[in-house]
Chains A and B, each alone.
Chain A
C-alpha cells in the first residue's frame, strides 16, 4: 500500500509540466546521441550536466536519467540500419539486427528492439521500486568498512570486465584514485598534489575529465579513419513484428530482462555486459544456434531487452548505497552533488518526492520513447547521413562550451584538452579510460571510508574481514583479481571483456 501511495506521489512530481518537458528533452537527446555514432550517453550527460543547474534537482536528474535510457533505445537504430553501434551497449545488436535489415526485415528488427526495450525498461522500474526501499533499509546499517569494501569490489569488477590486460585496467583505476585525491584533504584540509595552483584546490572537475577522455579522445580516434556507413536505404515498412517474431522473441525478452536487471545492479556491471551476456545465453539455448549472425530475431530481442533492464537496475546501487556502479551513474551522482544532495540509504526517506518522481518519470520516459522511436525512424535515418567531417567540429565546440559552462573557468577547458590528448594516447596503447573515471569518482569516498574505519577500529585491519558483508565483497574482489591467472577463466574474461567507453 505504501508503495502505491509513493508511486502516486512520484507521478504527481513527474507529471508537472516542467518535469514532463525535461523528461522529453532527456529522452529525445538520449535517442539522438544513441543514434549518432561517435557520441555516447557519457559525453551527452557530461555536456548537459551544467544545464541541470538551471532547474530543480528533480528536473535536472529526470533529464539526465532520460538521456541514459534514451540512448539505449537510440543505439539499436544505428546498429540495425548502419551496422555501426550508436553506443557501446548496442554492439551486439549489429550482428543480427543489420543482417535482418539486409534481408528486408529492418522494420521487425527495429520494432522488436523498441518493444523489448519497453518491456524490459518497465520491468526494471517495477523491480527498482520494490527493491530500492528495502535495500536502503538494510544499507542504513552499513559502516565505513562495508562501503570501502563495496567500492573496492565495484572497481575490481569493472577492471575485470574491461578490454585488454587486467594490470593495465588496475593501473588506470589507481591513477583515477590519485586524480580524485587532488585538492584539499577532506579530513586534515591539507592541499594535495595542487602544485601551488589555486584552480586545483577544489580538485579536478569530473566534467572536464570525462569530456576529455570520452568526448575529445573519441573524436581524435574517429578522425584517424573514415567511418564507413552502410546505410539501409530501402523504405522501412511494417514496424510491428508478426506472430512468429513474437513467439521467437518472447523467451529472449523475458530472459534478457531478468539477466540485464541482475547484471545492472552489480557494481562494475551495466548495460554493455548485459547485452553481451544475453546474446551468449540466447545462442547457447537456441535449438538452431547457426542462425545467429545471419539475422536471428532472438539475437536482437534478448540483448536489447537486457541493456534496457540493466540501465534501470544500475539506479539501485546509486540510489540506495550512494555508490555509482558505472561511469554513467557516476555522472548522475555528479548531478545529485551539484544540487547539494547525497544519494544513499536516507535519500528515499528524506527526499521521497525526488526518488519517486525520478522513478515515475522513467515510466513516462519509456512510453515517450516508444512513441518517439517508431514513427520517427525516418528522421533518425536522415540524421545518420550527416557526414562526420561536419559533425566532429560541432562535437568539439559543444564539449568546449559544456566544460566552460560547468564552472565558468577557462582552466577546465585546458584540463579537458589535456585529458583528451592523454585519453587518445591511452587508447592507442591499450589503456581503457572507464576504470580511471569510476575510480576518480570513488577515490575520495574510498579514502574517506578507509581512514574512518581505521580510526574507528584503532588501526585493526581485521575490521574489514570480521564484518560479513565487507568480508564477502573483499573475497569476491580477490577471486576476480586472481581469476585471470587460471587459463580457463582468463579465456572467459576475454570473451566478455568490453569497451565501456565506446
Chain B
C-alpha cells in the first residue's frame, strides 16, 4: 500500500469510517437496551443482553477506530480501485427500483424489466438472447410456482400474474 492509499487521521480513511459506524450502532443498541429496561442480574430484563452487546460493540468499534488512527488504513477510493464500481451501483439501482415496483406492478410486470435491465446494462447480452431470457424465465418461474406449487405471487394493481 502506498502513501496515497494508506492514510491515518484523514476523513477518507475507510477503516475510520467502519469504526465510526460501528460506534454509532453500538450507541444506538445501548440506548435501546436502556429503553427496554435492564432488569437486575437475578432477573434480567428485555434490554439486558442488548445493553451489554451494545457496550461490546462500542469496545470493538473503538479498537477499530484507534487502530485506524495509529496504523492508518486504506482510503475509501482505494477500495474501489481497478474495479468497475458503476456495475454494482447499476445492479443496486435496478434492485431498489424493483423493490418499489414489486407490490404495485406485481411479479411479472416488475421482474421482466428487471431481468432485461440486468442482462443489457451490466455486461450486455445481445438483444436476440436477452429478450427471450428476460421474458421466458420469469414466465416459466411464475407458471411453476403459481400453477404447479400453488404459490401466490404478487399480482399488483393490474391483477397480472
Query: Contact check: which of B42, B124, B133 meets A459 at CB < 8 Å?
Result: B42
Judged by a CB distance under 8 angstroms, whether B160 is at the interface is no
Residues of A412-454 contacting chain B, CB below 8 A = 413-414, 417, 420-421, 424, 428-431, 446-447, 450-451, 454
Judged by a CB distance under 8 angstroms, whether B7 is at the interface is no
Query: Contact check: which of A401, A450, A459 meets B40 at CB < 8 Å?
Result: A459
Judged by a CB distance under 8 angstroms, whether B135 is at the interface is no
Question: Please, how many angstroms separate the alpha-carbon atoms of A421 and B93 in the complex?
Answer: 10
Tell me whether A174 and B53 are in contact (CB under 8 A).
Answer: yes
Residues of A118-158 contacting chain B, CB below 8 A = none
Tell me whether A192 and B46 are in contact (CB under 8 A).
Answer: yes
The segment out of A33-41, A255-263, A388-396 that lies at the interface is: A388-396
The segment out of A163-171, A232-240, A328-336, A488-496 that lies at the interface is: A163-171
Judged by a CB distance under 8 angstroms, whether B11 is at the interface is no
- The chain A residue sitting closest to B102, CB to CB, is A410
Given known contacts A188-B46, A401-B145, is B115 in contact with A393 (CB within 8 Å)? yes
- Tell me which residues across on chain B come within 8 A of A450, comparing CB atoms: 44, 49
Given known contacts A171-B64, A389-B119, is B79 in contact with A429 (CB within 8 Å)? yes
Question: Please, how many angstroms separate the alpha-carbon atoms of A380 and B82 in the complex?
Answer: 31
Tell me whether B44 and A451 are in contact (CB under 8 A).
Answer: yes
The segment out of A198-206, A222-230, A314-322 that lies at the interface is: A222-230
Judged by a CB distance under 8 angstroms, whether A221 is at the interface is yes
- Tell me which residues across on chain A come within 8 A of B9, comparing CB atoms: none
B126 to chain A, nearest CB (A): 11
- Tell me which residues across on chain A come within 8 A of B123, comparing CB atoms: 223, 226, 387-389
B-contact bits for A391-411, CB 8 A (1 contact / 0 none): 011101110110011001010
Question: Please, how many angstroms separate the alpha-carbon atoms of A188 and B48 in the complex?
Answer: 12
Residues of B92-136 contacting chain A, CB below 8 A = 92, 95-96, 98-99, 102-103, 111, 114-115, 118-119, 122-125, 129, 133-134
Interface centre among B29, B44, B67, B87 (most CB of A within 10 A): B44
Number of residues of chain B lying within 8 A (CB) of chain A: 67
Given known contacts A178-B50, A410-B154, A413-B102, is B137 in contact with A397 (CB within 8 Å)? yes
Tell me whether B137 and A174 are in contact (CB under 8 A).
Answer: no
Judged by a CB distance under 8 angstroms, whether B159 is at the interface is no
Question: Please, how many angstroms separate the alpha-carbon atoms of A401 and B114 in the complex?
Answer: 13
Interface SS majority for chain A: helix
Query: Contact check: which of B44, B60, B83, B95 meets A170 at CB < 8 Å?
Result: B60
Question: Please, how many angstroms separate the alpha-carbon atoms of A401 and B145 in the complex?
Answer: 9
- Tell me which residues across on chain B come within 8 A of A400, comparing CB atoms: 98, 111
Tell me whether A455 and B88 are in contact (CB under 8 A).
Answer: no
Judged by a CB distance under 8 angstroms, whether B70 is at the interface is no
- The chain B residue sitting closest to A452, CB to CB, is B44
Question: Please, how many angstroms separate the alpha-carbon atoms of A458 and B118 in the complex?
Answer: 58
- The chain B residue sitting closest to A420, CB to CB, is B95
B88 to chain A, nearest CB (A): 4
Query: Contact check: which of B25, B49, B88, B111 meets A175 at CB < 8 Å?
Result: B25
Tell me whether A397 and B125 are in contact (CB under 8 A).
Answer: no
Tell me whether B151 and A224 are in contact (CB under 8 A).
Answer: no
Tell me whether B42 and A454 are in contact (CB under 8 A).
Answer: yes
Query: Contact check: which of B18, B80, B84, B149 meets A54 at CB < 8 Å?
Result: B149
Judged by a CB distance under 8 angstroms, whether A185 is at the interface is yes
- Tell me which residues across on chain A come within 8 A of B83, comparing CB atoms: 224-225
Tell me whether A428 and B79 are in contact (CB under 8 A).
Answer: yes
B134 to chain A, nearest CB (A): 8
Question: Please, how many angstroms separate the alpha-carbon atoms of A224 and B153 in the complex?
Answer: 31
Given known contacts A181-B50, A458-B42, is B87 in contact with A414 (CB within 8 Å)? no
- Tell me which residues across on chain B come within 8 A of A178, comparing CB atoms: 29, 50, 53-54, 57
- Tell me which residues across on chain B come within 8 A of A216, comparing CB atoms: 95
- Tell me which residues across on chain B come within 8 A of A185, comparing CB atoms: 46
- The chain B residue sitting closest to A193, CB to CB, is B32
Given known contacts A190-B36, A421-B92, is B41 in contact with A459 (CB within 8 Å)? yes
Tell me whether A410 and B103 are in contact (CB under 8 A).
Answer: yes
Judged by a CB distance under 8 angstroms, whether A219 is at the interface is yes
Judged by a CB distance under 8 angstroms, whether A254 is at the interface is no
B120 to chain A, nearest CB (A): 10
Query: Contact check: which of B46, B87, B133 meets A224 at CB < 8 Å?
Result: B87
A-contact bits for B34-63, CB 8 A (1 contact / 0 none): 001000111111111110011011001101
B83 to chain A, nearest CB (A): 4
Judged by a CB distance under 8 angstroms, whether A177 is at the interface is yes
Judged by a CB distance under 8 angstroms, whether A220 is at the interface is yes
B76 to chain A, nearest CB (A): 9
Query: Contact check: which of A223, A388, A451 meets B88 at CB < 8 Å?
Result: A223
Judged by a CB distance under 8 angstroms, whether B85 is at the interface is yes
Interface centre among A174, A223, A447 (most CB of B within 10 A): A174
Tell me whether B17 and A429 are in contact (CB under 8 A).
Answer: yes
- Tell me which residues across on chain B come within 8 A of A165, comparing CB atoms: 64, 67
- Interface contacts beyond A216-B95, A389-B119, A429-B18: sample of 18 additional A-B pairs, CB < 8 Å, sorted by A: A167-B63, A171-B22, A174-B26, A178-B50, A181-B50, A192-B46, A224-B83, A389-B123, A390-B125, A394-B137, A397-B137, A401-B145, A404-B153, A429-B15, A429-B17, A430-B18, A431-B18, A454-B42
Some 21 contacts from A to B, beta carbons below 8 A apart, are A167-B64, A170-B56, A171-B60, A174-B26, A178-B53, A178-B57, A223-B87, A226-B123, A387-B125, A390-B119, A396-B95, A396-B114, A397-B111, A405-B145, A414-B99, A421-B95, A430-B14, A454-B42, A454-B43, A459-B42, A461-B41
Query: Across chains A and B, which 4 residue pairs bring their CB atoms closest together, nearest first?
Result: A389-B123, A459-B41, A393-B118, A459-B42
Chain B residues with a Cβ under 8 A of chain A: 14-15, 17-18, 22, 25-26, 29, 32, 36, 40-50, 53-54, 56-57, 60-61, 63-64, 67, 79-80, 82-85, 87-88, 91-92, 95-96, 98-99, 102-103, 111, 114-115, 118-119, 122-125, 129, 133-134, 137-138, 141, 145, 149, 151-154
